[in-house]
């Protein structure tokens, strides 16, 4: 929870800093696409990605070699200053708060490109104190640079302590925009015995009960189905609840098996169904997967609109295709319908698909 009194929660933390937002806008952010601004090949691809991805994120932290930290920071400044991002948001991931680079990241980026940066992703957040530190520093830098709207903060949940403190992290500042899961660092910090970046694990499974023979003895050596389980279910569910409580947005994170587009889509879909609004994309081919998964399907929108139409003033119970619908299922349908409306505003192809739906009686 905030250490500030309620009356001070929305007060700027520096004289001249922009007023904090009262509500975090629900801007589409199905894919947060990571690029290394010090990698010329990747950077060259960025302008062509505008309009095809909801968020472009210039990464300065892990995956950027120590020798390239300054080049990545400077590369991001150059790209941001020379590019019109149109409908695409520009985010960055700064270095960890205990690193030798983060202070220069913030004191360079805010004056140079603070007017273009929508969100700053902060890695390895442990508790509200980390958000308070960045919050005050951003306010000071915004005031000094004359930035007109507050830069928002997104925290990566990737330490055991961060997960334990997820509620206070979400409520630490009106700048808090959302949370991403960081399964790679979180696995290491928890001492999980895995070596992967996100996704499931064949050893984490539930096995079907053994069949019994005629005498009722269990045949434990018989062939049995196994069902791989989701290692991240608990953390994502916890994150979703904390974000919903505080009116901010939850995201899945990295899926490192770039070649396995099928399992990637499954992991993204689990997160979407549990309440996440988007995910990370590490490679250009993950953008289309994220855009597809985090946009409600035409079938879901057709059904949702049918329920909305049948429910009239929104109270009571009706039967549709043999299933009961009432005030609560209507609310679920409205989540999908409202998301579709937001996405249709920025995605002409989706708009065409949603507009073509005929509402069945
Ligand atoms: C695990 C915890 C975390 O912190 S995850 C977040 C940090 N990691 C990252 O940001 C990784 C970002 N991605 C990458 O570095 C690369 O995609 C990796 C995974 C190394 C694969 O690169 P590479 O072997 O070049 O792939 P490729 O040959 O299939 O690339 C084809 C062309 O696409 C480009 N490309 C690749 N990744 C990106 C990207 N993220 N954004 C923009 N462009 C990208 C490549 O440069 C390559 O370009 P070209 O066709 O040769 O001109
Ligand atoms: O930063 C992401 C992670 O999985 O670690
Ligand atoms: Mg990490």
**Ligand 2 pocket check: which of 157, 158, 192 to mutate, most ligand atoms within 8 Å of Cβ?**
158
Distance CA 53, CA 56 (A): 7
Residue 321 zone, left/alpha/beta (φ > 0; ψ -120 to 50; rest)? left
Distance CA 150, CA 168 (A): 20
Percent helix / strand / coil, the chain, rounded to 5:
45, 15, 40
pLDDT(1) > 70: no
Q: In this structure, what token pair is assigned to residue 319? A: 């039967």
pLDDT at 323: 96
Distance CA 265, CA 252 (A): 12
Share of the chain above pLDDT 70, in %: 99
Distance CA 22, CA 63 (A): 34
Distance CA 124, CA 177 (A): 16
Name the closest-CA residue to atom 1, ligand 2.
182
pLDDT at 29: 97
Ligand 1 neighbours (beta carbon < 6 A): 34-36, 41-42, 45, 59, 62-63, 184, 197, 254, 256, 258, 282-284
pLDDT at 358: 84
Name the closest-CA residue to atom 3, ligand 2.
182
Q: What is the mean pLDDT of residues 159-185?
A: 98
Q: What is the mean pLDDT of residues 258-276?
A: 98
Residue 338 CB coordination number (10 Å): 13
**pLDDT tens string 35-93:** 999 999 999 999 999 999 999 999 999 999 999 999 999 999 999 999 999 999 999 99
Name the closest-CA residue to atom 4, ligand 1.
62
The domain over range 6-200+230-294 is classified in CATH as 2.40.110.10: no
Q: Is the CB–ligand 2 distance for residue 183 below 6 Å? A: yes
Judge whether 73 is annotated as a binding position.
no
Judge whether 93 is annotated as a binding position.
yes
**Ligand 1 pocket check: which of 69, 279, 282, 287 to mutate, most ligand atoms within 8 Å of Cβ?**
282
Q: What is the mean pLDDT of residues 154-176?
A: 98
pLDDT(234) > 50: yes
pLDDT at 2: 47
DSSP letters along 267-324, please? Answer: HHHHHHHHT--BEEESSHHHHHHHHHHTS--HHHHHHHHHHHHHTTTT-SEEEETTEE
For residue 202, give the 3-state DSSP assignment. coil
pLDDT(229) > 80: yes
Grade residue 314 by pLDDT with cuts at 50, 70 and 90: very high
Q: How far apart are the first and last CA of the chain?
A: 47
pLDDT at 169: 98
Distance CA 287, CA 96 (A): 26
Scored b (16 or more CB within 10 A) or e, 71-107 reads bbbebbbebbeeeebeebbbbbbbbbbebebbebbbe
Tokens 């993950």 locate to 286
**pLDDT tens string 114-131:** 999 999 999 999 999 999
Residues 6+ apart with CB under 8 A from 84: 50
Tokens 């399964």 locate to 183
Question: Lowest mean pLDDT: which of 5-9, 61-65, 161-165, 185-189?
Answer: 5-9
Cβ atoms 184, 156 nearer than 8 A: no
Q: In this structure, what token pair is assigned to residue 220? A: 């434990």
Residue 231 CB coordination number (10 Å): 20
* For the chain, domain boundaries: 6-200+230-294, 299-355
Distance CA 23, CA 125 (A): 22
For residue 177, give the 3-state DSSP assignment. strand
Mean pLDDT of the chain: 96
Judge whether 74 is annotated as a binding position.
no
- For ligand 3, a single-atom ion, the residues with CB < 5 A are 158, 182, 185
Distance CA 289, CA 265 (A): 6
pLDDT at 4: 78
Q: Is the CB–ligand 2 distance for residue 254 below 6 Å? A: yes
Distance CA 279, CA 271 (A): 8
Distance CA 326, CA 317 (A): 4
DSSP letters along 77-109, please? Answer: HHHHHH---TTSEEEEEPPPTTSSSHHHHHHHH
pLDDT(232) > 50: yes
**pLDDT tens string 10-22:** 999 999 999 999 9
Grade residue 3 by pLDDT with cuts at 50, 70 and 90: low
Q: What is the mean pLDDT of residues 190-211?
A: 96
Which of 140, 73, 127 has its CA nearest to residue 101? 73
Q: In this structure, what token pair is assigned to residue 240? A: 């979703």
2/157: higher pLDDT: 157
Q: Is the CB–ligand 2 distance for residue 347 below 6 Å? A: no
């Amino acid at each position: 929870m905030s250490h500030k009194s309620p009356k001070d929660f929305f007060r700027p933390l520096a004289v001249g800093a922009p007023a904090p937002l009262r509500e975090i806008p629900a801007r589409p952010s199905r894919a947060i696409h990571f690029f290394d601004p010090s990698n010329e090949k990747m950077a060259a691809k960025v302008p062509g990605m505008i309009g095809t991805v909801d968020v472009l994120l210039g990464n300065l932290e892990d995956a950027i070699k120590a020798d390239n930290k300054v080049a990545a920071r400077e590369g991001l400044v150059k790209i941001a200053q020379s590019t019109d991002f149109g409908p695409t948001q520009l985010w960055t991931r700064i270095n960890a708060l205990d690193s030798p680079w983060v202070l220069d990241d913030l004191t360079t980026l805010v004056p140079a490109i603070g007017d273009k940066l929508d969100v700053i992703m902060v890695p390895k957040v442990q508790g509200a104190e980390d958000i308070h530190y960045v919050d005050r520093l951003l306010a000071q830098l915004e005031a000094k640079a004359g930035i007109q709207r507050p830069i928002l903060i997104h925290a990566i949940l990737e330490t055991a302590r961060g997960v334990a403190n997820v509620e206070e992290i979400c409520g630490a500042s009106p700048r808090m925009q959302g949370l991403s899961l960081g399964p790679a660092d979180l696995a290491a910090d928890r001492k999980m015995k895995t070596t992967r970046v996100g996704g499931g694990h064949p050893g984490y499974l539930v096995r079907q009960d053994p069949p019994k023979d005629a005498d009722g003895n269990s045949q434990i050596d018989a062939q049995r189905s196994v069902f791989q389980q989701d290692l991240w279910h608990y953390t994502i569910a916890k994150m979703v609840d904390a974000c919903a409580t505080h009116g901010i947005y939850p995201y899945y994170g990295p899926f490192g098996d770039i070649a396995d587009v099928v399992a990637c889509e499954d992991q993204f879909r689990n997160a979407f169904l549990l309440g996440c609004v988007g995910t990370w994309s590490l490679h250009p081919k993950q953008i289309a997967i994220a855009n597809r998964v985090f946009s409600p399907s035409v079938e879901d929108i057709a059904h949702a609109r049918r329920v909305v139409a049948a429910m009239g003033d929104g109270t009571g119970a009706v039967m549709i295709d043999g299933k009961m619908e009432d005030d609560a299922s209507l609310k679920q349908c409205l989540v999908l319908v409202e998301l579709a409306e937001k996405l249709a505003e920025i995605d002409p192809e989706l708009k065409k698909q949603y507009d073509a739906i005929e509402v069945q009686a």
